[in-house]
């Protein structure tokens, strides 16, 4: 199922859900991406200042991709309650 994310926190939540679905720990994902566990934790927490390269490395390891499309009319808060 596609997930809509409009905030860093929502992106982090989606990454965490996918990691857990794949039964990976943050340390496991860090090993797959050559990132520290603390970096994975920050990414999943929606920490500001995350580099795009870090995000894309994590997404690649989780077999995810971005889809860019026009926004729907739902508010970010409404989208968050879907998950």
Rounded to an integer, the average pLDDT of 56-63 is 97
| pTM of this structure | 0.82
Instruction: Indicate the average pLDDT of the chain.
Output: 89
Phi, psi of 75 (to 5 degrees): -80, 155
Please give the pLDDT value at position 53. Answer: 96
Please give the pLDDT value at position 48. Answer: 86
Please give the pLDDT value at position 1. Answer: 67
CA distance between the termini of the chain: 11
Burial of 11 per CB tally in 10 Å (0-12, 13-18, 19+)? buried
Largest CA distance in the chain: 38
Q: Are the CB atoms for 14 and 5 separated by under 8 Å?
A: yes
Please give the pLDDT value at position 76. Answer: 56
């Amino acid at each position: 199922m596609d997930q809509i994310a409009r905030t860093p926190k929502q992106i982090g939540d989606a990454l965490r859900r996918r990691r857990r679905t794949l039964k990976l720990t943050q340390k496991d994902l860090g090993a797959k991406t050559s990132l520290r566990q603390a970096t994975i934790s920050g990414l999943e927490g929606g920490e500001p200042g995350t580099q795009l390269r870090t995000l894309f490395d994590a997404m690649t390891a989780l077999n995810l991709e971005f889809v860019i499309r026009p926004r729907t009319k739902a508010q970010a808060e409404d989208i968050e309650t879907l998950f």
